[in-house]
Structure 1
Amino acid sequence: MSNSQPQPKALAYTGPERRSRERRQPRSVEVRPTWASVDEGALAHNLRTVQAHVGERCRVLAVVKADGYGHGAVESARAFVDAGAWGLAVSLVEEGVELRQHGVRAPVLVLSGVHPGSEDVIVHGALTPVVWSPQHFQLLTSAVRRSGAATLPVHIKIDTGMSRLGVLPEDLGALLDWYQAHAASELRIEGVMTHFACADDAEDALTSARQLERFQACLRVLGERRIHPSIRHVCNSAGLVRFSEAHLDMVRPGIALYGAGSSRAVELPELRMAMGVHSRLLGIRELPAGTAVSYGHRQVLDRPSRLGIVPVGYGDGYPRTMSGRAQMLIRGHRCPVVGNITMDLSMVDVTELPDAREGERVTLMGTQGRERIDLYELADWAQLIPYEVTCGLSKRVPRRPL
């Protein structure tokens, strides 16, 4: 008699009907008037924009790691799959399991390899691991045998110049020899990939060209062993914009799907920013000229001023490094942030808006009236890259779908 316990089944995702049911479930308490809006229509639009750019014969693997770049992994994954994504990519096994637990059935590629102890979870969750060492093959082969599962698809990662993860080109032959001798019955090499190191540098095309050459040489090594993966993939968001010859069988966009690029120079046209960040004025202080404001008294008012109190700070992911540079939108006007941003609160100058009152809507990122604060501007104020802004938005800021 077997001692194994039955494993819980993931709920099947059935599209909008399931989504509607989930939204009727009790929510956590949300009292503070600070939130991030996530436009699921924009997510779908961006996926379709990428698909149109690369052509219908090229698959799109939507990257939803780091909680969907701060937008919500499960909700983003569903939007992308509904819009036609072939599959999804995460960094961690835990992120893949979260998708499965919420009924997402599309292929899920786990980018960070196979850590000892994760192999059974990968097999049970029908996740697709990225591999680059005999140890990865050994762990997975044993897990497949224990489970009695069907052959598990894997993707081999080749380090062509990122100097981070992947098998080095000179070691690829030995890795394939090990696979063919010990793992070919349990594992199937579905894909082969590499990662551009400098695709987002608009002035450097040579580095990416050299990486692509190394990758093509590695594909020949695979072919010599009669291994022909059906999915070859190289391009991230910047790569798919700059290097059409590298689209191959699939692209792996991340930041592009959320409406931006690593910089304006490598942004795909026609994207729509999916996230907005908003709050409301908690109150207004009438202060005389000469008043020092916030921690450190870094800023002293040079005129009688009306300062609005906004319940958002660096504890929410609104970086303190923006102090003295950031602006917020109130009634469609740009208002400067005054003094140091604190953990929970920021101060904004509404002197030019004499009718502004407590409860006024404040937009930290997004559009209000004819004005707009986009991700690039906010990142510039914070001296960060756009990825860090959305990924850094803390769980204290609830995400609300539009």
Structure 2
Amino acid sequence: MTSCDAPLPDTLAPDASRLTVDTAALVANWRRFARAGAAAACGAAVKADGYGLGARPIAAALVAAGCRDLLVAHWHEVAALGPQPDGVRVAVLHGVMPGDMARALASPAVPVLVTAGQVQAWKVTGRPCDVMVDTGLNRLGIDIAEARSGLLDGLAIDTLHSHLACSETPASPANEAQRAAFADIAAVVPARRRALANSAGIGLGPGWHFDLTRPGIGLYGGGASPDAHPLAPVAGIATRIIQLRDVPAGASIGYGATYTAAGPLRVAVVALGYADGYPRSLSDRGRALVDGVPCPVVGRISMDLTIIDVSAAPDLAEGDWLTMDFDLAGSAAASGRSEYELLTGLGARYARVHT
């Protein structure tokens, strides 16, 4: 959307910036990961409010496309998804922490047990579960020795999980070491399915796919593609011009007077800042796009406002909408933040618009 496009209905928080979510692009990305995983079922990580884009509509679009495994981090995220159709399975990656048991037992979701204490507490319920084993990430998970000790005996394990540490570095020897360690433990722990590969792990090849893959960032247009084609961008930011002003040569712009106009500028002050998750580190590095013409951010980004040099777009008026350049890879490189941080850091003030 450019400043010349018809704005979305003002019933959608007319004074707020808009976070547009292309669910068709999301589904297209999921289908590509599903094809790359071949015979493995393809799930979807929808934790952190669907990576900041709205978990409920994200999940609904993926389920409609055929996804049958959704993964969240916390039990309250299960409720946020809303009821799911028969055959759709929700797994909670942090397992059952103290105080979670009553909610877990009342929930249709299943825990991914990650500690020996969680295993012991859940075992007495007799209910199905998943289990995470640690194969080298040294984050969450049952140790390999614990998994071989008989600790898991008597559990009704649906899916045995592990997580790769270096999948975004395909040449790392850690990937094969973890794959081999997981295959070894999976051979002795009875479970209906095995799951190892995240988005980048799917691209490592069939040896990492096992029975279920768990793409996350790739669904939302970030990270490496599982094939030779680029992933479709999913998230976009549109923001409204509050004020247009002329800045003379030699005048400074923004807090700290960090930017000085080399010549006369026409600037737009827009309703977007770091409280919306637009990183302060994009000061003098970010840009808007007006009919494809780049318009750079000038001066320091503040909590609620960003200033953009729109000298190249003379037809803009106050109240017009600007599209920010929110290419994930480019924004990550420019801001020094990861693509994960950029997405999940998007604030609550946006009017989220799912198309």
AA partner of residue 107 (structure 1): R
Name the counterpart of 1:6: none
AA partner of residue 18 (structure 2): W
Q: Please tell me whether the aligned partners of residues 49 and 270 of structure 1 are also in contact (alpha carbons under 8 angstroms).
A: no
Which of 73, 84, 97 is the aligned partner of 2:79? 97
Q: Where do residues 197-212 of structure 1 align in structure 2 (5 Å cutoff)?
A: 197-204=165-172, 206-212=173-179
Which of 172, 175, 183 is the aligned partner of 1:216? 183
Q: Does 1:67 align with 2:64?
A: no
Query: What is the distance in 2 between the residues matched to 1:120 and 1:364?
Result: 44
Query: What is the distance in 2 between the residues matched to 1:34 and 1:298?
Result: 25
Residues 158 and 28 (structure 1 numbering): CA distance in 2 closer, same or farther, change over 3 Å? farther
Residues 393 and 232 (structure 1 numbering): CA distance in 2 closer, same or farther, change over 3 Å? same
Residues 154 and 138 (structure 1 numbering): CA distance in 2 closer, same or farther, change over 3 Å? same
Which of 133, 137, 141 is the aligned partner of 1:158? 133
Which of 188, 203, 209 is the aligned partner of 1:241? 203
Q: Please tell me whether the aligned partners of residues 241 and 318 of structure 2 are also in contact (alpha carbons under 8 angstroms).
A: yes
Q: Where do residues 2-41 of structure 1 align in structure 2 (5 Å cutoff)?
A: 30-41=13-24
TM-score (norm 2): 0.92
Q: Does 1:127 align with 2:100?
A: no
Query: What is the distance in 2 between the residues matched to 1:387 and 1:60?
Result: 20
Query: What is the distance in 2 between the residues matched to 1:265 and 1:134?
Result: 36
Higher helix share: 1
Alpha-carbon offset, residue 73 of structure 1: 0.6
Query: What is the distance in 2 between the residues matched to 1:317 and 1:243?
Result: 35
Name the counterpart of 2:194: 232
Please tell me the root mean square deviation across aligned C-alpha atoms, in Å. Answer: 1.9
Q: Does 1:136 align with 2:103?
A: no
Query: What is the distance in 2 between the residues matched to 1:92 and 1:133?
Result: 15
Larger RCO, structure (CA 8 Å, separation 6 or more):
2
What are the Cα deviations for residues 245-292 of structure 1, in whole angstroms up to 9, with x where unaligned? 11010100001111221xx58777352111111112222101211111
AA partner of residue 159 (structure 1): D
Size of the aligned set, in residue pairs, is 344
Q: Please tell me whether the aligned partners of residues 280 and 360 of structure 1 are also in contact (alpha carbons under 8 angstroms).
A: yes
Q: Where do residues 1-400 of structure 1 align in structure 2 (5 Å cutoff)?
A: 30-55=13-38, 57-99=39-81, 102-105=82-85, 106-142=88-124, 144=125, 151-174=126-149, 177-180=150-153, 184=154, 187-204=155-172, 206-222=173-189, 227=190, 229-261=191-223, 264=224, 269-365=229-325, 373-400=326-353
Name the counterpart of 1:4: none
Q: Please tell me whether the aligned partners of residues 256 and 267 of structure 1 are also in contact (alpha carbons under 8 angstroms).
A: no
Q: Please tell me whether the aligned partners of residues 18 and 239 of structure 2 are also in contact (alpha carbons under 8 angstroms).
A: yes
Residues 54 and 267 (structure 1 numbering): CA distance in 2 closer, same or farther, change over 3 Å? closer
Residues 401 and 233 (structure 1 numbering): CA distance in 2 closer, same or farther, change over 3 Å? same
Q: Give identity over the alignment, percent.
A: 33
Which 5+ residue runs of structure 1 have no aligned equivalent? 1-26, 145-150, 366-372
AA partner of residue 384 (structure 1): R
Residues 208 and 360 (structure 1 numbering): CA distance in 2 closer, same or farther, change over 3 Å? same
Alpha-carbon offset, residue 28 of structure 1: 8.6
Alpha-carbon offset, residue 117 of structure 1: 1.5
Q: Please tell me whether the aligned partners of residues 293 and 312 of structure 2 are also in contact (alpha carbons under 8 angstroms).
A: no
TM-score (norm 1): 0.81
AA partner of residue 167 (structure 2): A
Alpha-carbon offset, residue 357 of structure 1: 2.0
Name the counterpart of 2:6: none
Name the counterpart of 2:4: none
Query: What is the distance in 1 between the residues matched to 2:127 and 2:60?
Result: 24
Which 5+ residue runs of structure 2 have no aligned equivalent? 1-9
Q: Please tell me whether the aligned partners of residues 235 and 247 of structure 1 are also in contact (alpha carbons under 8 angstroms).
A: yes
Query: What is the distance in 2 between the residues matched to 1:54 and 1:29?
Result: 38
**Structure 1 residue ranges, 4+ long, deviating more than 3 angstroms after superposition:** 264-268
AA partner of residue 182 (structure 2): F
Alpha-carbon offset, residue 202 of structure 1: 3.6
Q: Which has the larger radius of gyration?
A: 1
What are the Cα deviations for residues 7-43 of structure 1, in whole angstroms up to 9, with x where unaligned? xxxxxxxxxxxxxxxxxxxx99713141001111112
Residues 318 and 267 (structure 1 numbering): CA distance in 2 closer, same or farther, change over 3 Å? farther
AA partner of residue 37 (structure 1): T
